[in-house]
Amino acid sequence: MTQQGAVLQGYNNELVKCIEDLRMQKEELNKQIQQAEEEKSKLQHKIQVLSEQLECVCENLAQKVASWNELEKILAETEAAYMKILDSSRTLLNVLKKEVGSLKHTPELKTN
């Protein structure tokens, strides 16, 4: 019976050692889980901050694009109006030249 007791004691010691090893693995894994959760939390916070920054940049960009489009429209309208003014000025100049030319042909304005 002493030999069986010794064998049983050996099994018991080995079982206790295995249980202790499992507890140590559990503790190590628990630490790793906590570190991973902390890292996850930090990353989620960074994502939130970056998402807010992205939203601000997108809004700013949309406002700038809208302003650019409005300026493009104003510029196109202004250039079109300016071209009409140039065309009218050219027409006026041509009419004026014809009028001055026809005045030179009238007998009263001819110089001796």
pLDDT digits (tens, 9 = 90+) for 34-80: 999 999 999 999 999 999 999 999 999 999 999 999 999 999 999 99
What predicted TM-score, i.e. pTM, was given to this entire model?
0.59
102 or 47, which is more confident: 47
Kindly indicate the confidence band of residue 108, based on its pLDDT and cuts at 50, 70 and 90.
low
Angle at 6 between CA 21 and CA 14, to 5 degrees: 10
How far apart are the C-alpha atoms of 77 and 70, rounded to whole Å? 11
Percent of the chain with pLDDT over 90: 80
Domain boundaries, the chain: 1-70
